[in-house]
Structure 1
Amino acid sequence: MATWYCMQGCGACCNLTPEDRPELAEYLAPEELTLYHSLVGADGWCVNYNHGDRLCQIYEDRPSFCRVKPDNFARMFGIAPAEFDEFASHCCEEQIEGVYGPRSGELKSYRQGLPKFEVDSHF
């Protein structure tokens, strides 16, 4: 089982291209969807994303849908807290692969840095 973590300097989640996320209206409230669309720049990236340092310029004040937290995932996706780490890790891998490619350094780095829990079996 994987433990979710945010890889600093990745920024894949800041690529907000709506066409890549056709299910937005299923998990965002109407006012959140409006806010989401207002954040999408002409290039598909969040207008608050700094490409130079690959960081969010409004990190402390970012919208709730940008916060990868168990309570947000429960609200948006119906994910139980016990399933959060695995689900969020999978979401990150998919987003990184979609933005940077399946052979990208970003995806490789994420997978190498992702902590794993080994199931300890006693016979």
Structure 2
Amino acid sequence: MPTWQCIENCGACCHLEPGDRPDLEDYLTPAQLEQYLAMVGPDGWCINYDQAHRKCTIYTERPRFCRVLPETFTEMFDVPTEELQQFAIDCCLEHIDSIYGDESPEMERYVAKVVNIGL
């Protein structure tokens, strides 16, 4: 089974456009939602995402909802720990596709590093 991993120089998860995530209120607390919305820049990208270097500038201090951890996904999405890997991989595939496209270099790197490992 493949194991979820973040790939460098992607940042798809840092595209926080609320219109792309209409169910935010379903899985974020009111305080988390306020924090999330405060992090969205005018272009829909997180204000803490350095687009030139494609890195999070607050990575070690990023909010809990930005972390792929079993307890976070269980709490926010009711995903059992044993299903976390596939759920997180599917989320990345969907989000990378929606931000960069199905044939983008980001998608190619993600599939090569994460998905193909489990084949």
- TM-score interval (norm. to shorter): over 0.9
- Which structure would you say has the larger Rg? 1
Structure 2 counterpart of 1:90, which letter? D
Which runs of structure 2 are paired with 1:1-123 in the superposition (5 Å)? 1-114=1-114, 116-117=117-118
Q: Which is helix-richer, 1 or 2?
A: 2
Aligned counterparts of 1:108 and 1:70: Cα–Cα separation in 2: 26
Identity of aligned residues (%): 46
Aligned counterparts of 2:109 and 2:85: Cα–Cα separation in 1: 18
- Normalised to the residue count of structure 1, the TM-score between the two structures is 0.92
Aligned counterparts of 2:74 and 2:97: Cα–Cα separation in 1: 24
Aligned counterparts of 1:28 and 1:57: Cα–Cα separation in 2: 22
Moved over 4 A (4+): none
Structure 1, unmatched stretches of 5+, are 119-123
Aligned counterparts of 2:105 and 2:55: Cα–Cα separation in 1: 17
Aligned counterparts of 1:31 and 1:2: Cα–Cα separation in 2: 34
- Normalised to the residue count of structure 2, the TM-score between the two structures is 0.95
Structure 2, unmatched stretches of 5+, are none
- 1:22-75 Cα offsets, whole Å, 9 max, x none, are 111100001000000000000000000001110000000000000011110000
Structure 2 counterpart of 1:96, which letter? I
Aligned counterparts of 1:39 and 1:7: Cα–Cα separation in 2: 22
Structure 2 counterpart of 1:62, which letter? R
Tell me by how many angstroms 1:2 deviates: 2.4
Tell me by how many angstroms 1:103 deviates: 1.3
Aligned counterparts of 2:28 and 2:8: Cα–Cα separation in 1: 25
